[in-house]
Amino acid sequence: MPVHEYDAVIVGAGGAGLFAALELGRQRDLRVAVLSKLYPTRSHTGAAQGGIGAALGNEEEDHWEWHMFDTVKGGDYLVDQDAAEILAREAIETIYDLEHYGLPFDRTPDGRIAQRRFGGHTHHFGQGPVRRACHAADRTGHMILQTLYQQCLRNNVHFFNEFQVVDLLLEDGVAAGVVAWEILTGELHVFHSRAVMFATGGWGRIFKVSSNAHTLTGDGAAICWRRGIPLEDMEFYQFHPTGIYRLGILMSEAARGEGAILRNRYGERFMERYSPNLLDLAPRDIIARAMITEIREGRGIDGKDYLHLDFTHLPRQVLDEKLPEITSFARTYLGVDPATQPVPVQPTAHYAMGGIPTDVWGRVIRDEHNTPVPGLYAAGECACVSVHGANRLGTNSLVDILVFGRRAGRDMARYLKEAERVLVAHNPDSDAREELERLRNSSGGEKVGAIREELAACMMEWCGIFRNGADLQRMLDKLGELRDRYARITLDDRGWKFNQDLLEAWELGCLLDVAEATVRSALNRTESRGAHMREDYPKRDDAHWLKHTLLYRDGRFAYKPVTITRFQPQERKY
């Protein structure tokens, strides 16, 4: 069993992980390793399209207080406002940092970073749309990922590519390292480190129609949950309004930021009825619900389960220069030219607002009293700070990974100045080894792919955009059945080298865990707020539910108050 010694180990090489690694790598005297199940430039940050929200005011007047307000209101007042203030304030300096690292932002005629409109981002506390999203065409995430990876290479960060982390080492409640499986050889490695950070992204693959990569299976959240860390606000899952019909591939909100319009079978701009003020730039939860309502009432295209995203009134130049990627997606996957034909779209599972609970320095907390787990960090989609509350605004996922990835890196550097090396128990890899052997040798005839498909189809049906108690209970029962079948899987591949059959089986275990946390939390919260819409409890209920859910793996719930500083909860209208 190979053993490695590092000061910090970062799991995941998207924006949050790489920014933290870069902050540590720049210290020069720290040994930093990034472990990724992929090659770092394959991480899903690279799929982010539209932009990064920051009140630079390059195009028109803007203030971080407006950005903070939009974030709080967008999250239906479940956002922790101390965290939202940090997000909105530090977004600005973080953008400048990234620019100095080389990110090729689009530019205004006077050479500043160009900005555009995005859903839910407003001036004067909700008066109307504002140009806040800093962008590089519709490839903003790609540019972030490339820039941070490049600077990590320059700054002495060690990469372990295609290393799947399968366990977290905690000794007396202190982070001590991780166990990782080298996919190429099938060997287990132990990484000893005084600080461990999870930046493993989301779990959109629990749903059938999803914008997420196949590899987004909730690994980091599941690993922490199994080691006794609660998961926060798991009931809040965002569906992005405009996924390409059936494929789920994202058509960026930047499309509507640049003027595209959603239409039903009668060609009607239906958002006029749901959000008279912001129209097609209302927050995502509101538009996704409006779309499902249109479809349920028979106004989907040809009466089917999709609608049209209409670009045909926009100049071709806007498509070619500002939205080249999504224009190419429509052409490649649908054979549709958006300049002349509308694009069929439906809501697609997109983003987990909940996750591993942390404080504003990315430190993982273990309970409702905010007790930190020394040396353990999380940031990005796998974490819950919480800056997104019940519904994330467009662009704020990139702001989150950058601001809190950077902060986690800085705090780890501080922590490592004091922290002592933690001794690890004998055979730290034994649990992981046992689990992988069990999966490899199990022989009940069940297939991983079939279980995963059924999980995703049922989650879409019973735990999707509209929910109710009966469906959620049905889903919980279904999860029990799927777990039984998971215990009886048979793999085709019994080898060790690049055994993706085994990898997918292990990932399915994570999917089942995060799906269960999602369903249990959704069943438990008897109100509707943001992306969590209960048909049997259609109203927001601040008296009982203005609080964060913490769910432990043993089924125990705890609750954390929402931090409210500047903005008292109000009715949420757009």
Q: Is 139 in the site for another protein (CB under 8 A)?
A: yes
Binding pattern to another protein, positions 247-266, x when CB under 8 A? x-x-----------------
Q: Which of residues 344-373 bind another protein (CB under 8 A)?
A: none
List the catalytic residue out of 131, 205, 284, 366: 284
Residues 2, 61, 102, 573: which binds another protein (CB under 8 A)?
A: 102
Instruction: Kindly state the tokens that stand for 530.
Output: 């943001």
For the chain, helix (H) and strand (E) counts, in that order, are: 16, 24
Hunting for tokens 């953008």 — which residue is that? 95
Q: How far is the CB of 34 from another protein (least distance, A)?
A: 14
Q: Is 374 in the site for another protein (CB under 8 A)?
A: no
Peptide bond into 386 cis (omega under 30): yes
Q: Are 454 and 464 in contact (CB under 8 A)?
A: no
Instruction: Kindly state the tokens that stand for 554.
Output: 């043993």
Strand 237-244 relative to strand 261-263, pairing: unpaired
Q: Which of residues 422-461 bind another protein (CB under 8 A)?
A: 447-450
Q: What is the distance, to the nearest Å, from the Cα of residue 458 to the centroid of all Cα atoms in its chain? A: 21
Residues 19, 69, 105, 181: which binds another protein (CB under 8 A)?
A: 105
Interacting span for another protein (CB under 8 A) from 169-177, 268-276, 333-341, 538-546: 333-341
Question: Cα-Cα-Cα-Cα dihedral of 409, 396, 237, 138, to 10°?
Answer: -110
Residues facing 207 on adjacent strands: none
Residues 329, 361, 377, 574: which binds another protein (CB under 8 A)?
A: 329
Interacting span for another protein (CB under 8 A) from 37-45, 290-298, 397-405, 407-415: 37-45
Q: Which of residues 507-536 bind another protein (CB under 8 A)?
A: none
Q: Is 47 in the site for another protein (CB under 8 A)?
A: yes
Number of residues that bind another protein (CB under 8 A): 63
Q: Is 136 in the site for another protein (CB under 8 A)?
A: yes
Question: Which of 271, 251, 252 is closest to 261 using CA atoms?
Answer: 271
AA identity, residue 425: A
Binding pattern to another protein, positions 194-233, x when CB under 8 A? -------------------xxx------------------
Binding pattern to another protein, positions 54-93, x when CB under 8 A? --x-------------------------------------
Give the SS3 label for residue 391: coil
Q: How far is the CB of 100 from another protein (least distance, A)?
A: 4
Q: What are phi and psi of 307, to 5 degrees?
A: -130, 180
Would you tell me how many other CB atoms lie within 10 Å of the CB of residue 477? 11
Please provide the DSSP assignment of 278-293 as one string: TGGGS-HHHHHHHHHH
For another protein, the closer CB: 67 or 534:
67
Give the SS3 label for residue 359: coil
Give the SS3 label for residue 236: coil
- Concerning whether 284 is annotated as a catalytic residue, the answer is yes
- The rounded distance, in Å, linking the Cα atoms of 283 and 121 is 9
DSSP 214: T
For another protein, the closer CB: 84 or 254:
254
Which residues contact another protein (rule: CB under 8 A)?
38-39, 41-44, 46-47, 56, 95-96, 99-102, 104-113, 136-137, 139, 142-143, 146-147, 150-151, 153-154, 161, 184, 213-215, 247, 249, 325, 329, 332-335, 447-450, 491-493, 495-501
